[in-house]
Amino acid sequence: MTFTVPEAVGDRPVTVIGAGTLGRRIALMFADRGGEVRIYDPSPGAARAARAYVEEHLGEVAAKVPGGAPGKVVASEDEAAALAGSWLVVEAVPEKLELKKEVFGELDRLADPDAILASNSSSYPARQFTDRVRRPERVVNLHFYMPPEQPAVDLMSGGSTDRAVLDLLLRVLPGYGIHPFEARRESTGFIFNRIWAAIKREALAVVAEGVSTPQEVDRMWQINTGSQAGPFRMMDKVGLDVVLDIEDHYAAERPELPAGPRELLHRYVDAGHLGVKSGRGFYDDYGTGG
């Protein structure tokens, strides 16, 4: 079955589902061309906090995009209202497969018939959470890293995704300062994340084995690569609970992976040290609440 892609996308909103670390950053990118972006999150106050973040940084991001202009940002705790009229819906909820199945079932039911339904999942191919979706042709993986600093995205078919959906996103996304790269075959972790996962896992193993410390690994990384932040600082920024969810998923597919990196992450997560968002992770210099 084919899917008719949305028209007049520049005049229609984009909706982001989930107001966490990545959700608010994704919304920031789609708000930089003067259009309307809606942020939905059922947690009281979460969408409003995300809107405040977007509004704080929107001017500087829009200024870097050709033809950019600050857009309208709407925070909502009403999912149907947040979805009405949107041409693109980006899911950015935690990496829990059953949760994603529930979310996409609701999105399929509530979103406009021509809306593209995209998942920011970093480890699940779209085909794994579309069993409650009537039109899987409109579902696609659209995985962000850490925009606006890292504005590349992975774009991958869910197996049933209409080719026109991929082509539309490849054409339109660069206008928002987003750089799409298509994964041409199904790949857990997509493109860059597969490479990053190997680096991250080995960095965790070095610390888990007592060979070095997070701070020393990061400093050595900075000296040798010229990067501003090392692997542990970057994991703190993403959220150690998110990193652990991703590693657990990789391990479920590849049981031969060493357990040490996940055990190290568990110690931090179980203690409530999640990184920037909790004020403490591998580093403790973030202040209360990050």
Q: For 208-217, what is each residue's pLDDT tens digit?
A: 999 999 999 9
Report helix, strand or coil for 140.
strand
Q: What tens digit of pLDDT does each residue of 92-104 get?
A: 998 889 999 999 9
- Sheet order of strands, 139-146 included: 72-76, 36-40, 14-17, 88-91, 116-119, 139-146, 150-157, 179-182
- 290 vs 182: which has the higher pLDDT: 182
φ and ψ of 36, to 5 deg? -105, 135
Are the C-beta atoms of residues 119 and 150 closer than 8 Å to each other?
Answer: no
Residue 178 contacts residue 192 (beta carbons within 8 Å): no
Name residues whose C-beta falls within 8 Å of residue 140's C-beta, 6 or more positions apart in sequence. Answer: 116, 117, 118, 119, 126, 155, 156, 157, 158, 161, 165, 166, 169
The residue-averaged pLDDT of 238-245 equals 92
> What is the average pLDDT score of the chain?
94
Q: What is the pLDDT of residue 1?
A: 64
Which amino acid appears at position 260 of this protein? Answer: G
User: Strand 36-40 relative to strand 14-17: parallel, antiparallel, unpaired?
Assistant: parallel
Rg (C-alpha) for the chain, rounded Å, is 19
Q: What is the mean pLDDT of residues 219-239?
A: 95
Alpha-helical (H) ranges within the chain are 21-30, 46-62, 79-83, 97-110, 163-172, 192-208, 214-225, 231-238, 240-253, 260-270
Percent of the chain with pLDDT over 90: 88
pLDDT tens-digit readout, 110-159: 999 999 999 999 878 999 999 999 999 999 999 999 899 999 999 999 99
Q: What is the value of pTM for the model shown?
A: 0.81
Q: What is the pLDDT of residues 10-60, one digit of tens each?
A: 999 999 999 999 999 999 999 999 999 999 999 889 999 999 999 999 999
> In the chain, what are the domains?
9-182 (3.40.50.720), 193-278 (1.10.1040.10)
| Single-letter amino acid code for the residue at 159 | G
Q: In one letter, which amino acid is 99?
A: L
Mean pLDDT of 179-184: 97
